[in-house]
Amino acid sequence: MPELAEEALKVIQSYPEGVLQSELWKLLDIDSRKCSRVVKKLVDDERVERIEYRKDGIKTYVIKAKRPAVDPSLLLAGGELLPCICCEEECEVQVCPYLLDWIYQLAIEEFEE
């Protein structure tokens, strides 16, 4: 079932707005009971969320992938926070002096290690 759960997660992730559970089992070519078990495992592992949804009086669920938590260390270079986090400047990313300095610090840290 771990392989099926991974396959299901990939399918769910391909639908940014979520996929109906009643459609998911068809997309995975499995029966609805097996799909329910797979979704439960993904919910228990906190990889997806299950949101109640009613269509034409019939209850189903929208399954949406959760975004993994960002490793805070990825936002730091030289002990400094990624400048874009709280920046209010209108700029072009390719030529932003704040971002270029931050990337330079990251490169220096990598080189020194």
The 10s digit of each residue's pLDDT in 13-29 is 999 899 999 999 999 99
What is the chain's percent helix, strand, coil content, to nearest 5? 50, 20, 30
Q: What is the DSSP letter of 18?
A: -
pLDDT band at residue 31 under the 50/70/90 scheme? very high
Assess contact for 10 and 47: CB atoms under 8 A.
no
Strands of the sheet with 48-55, listed across from one edge: 19-20, 58-65, 48-55
Instruction: Please give the sequence-ordered ranges of beta strands (E in DSSP) within 13-106, or none if there are none.
Output: 19-20, 48-55, 58-65, 76-77, 80-81
What percentage of the chain exceeds 90 in pLDDT? 50
Q: How far is CA 78 from CA 104, 105, 106, in A?
A: 9, 6, 7
Encode pLDDT of 61-98 as tens digits.
999 999 877 777 777 766 777 788 778 888 887 888 88
pLDDT attached to residue 45: 93
pTM of the model: 0.60
Q: Helix, strand or coil for residue 100?
A: helix
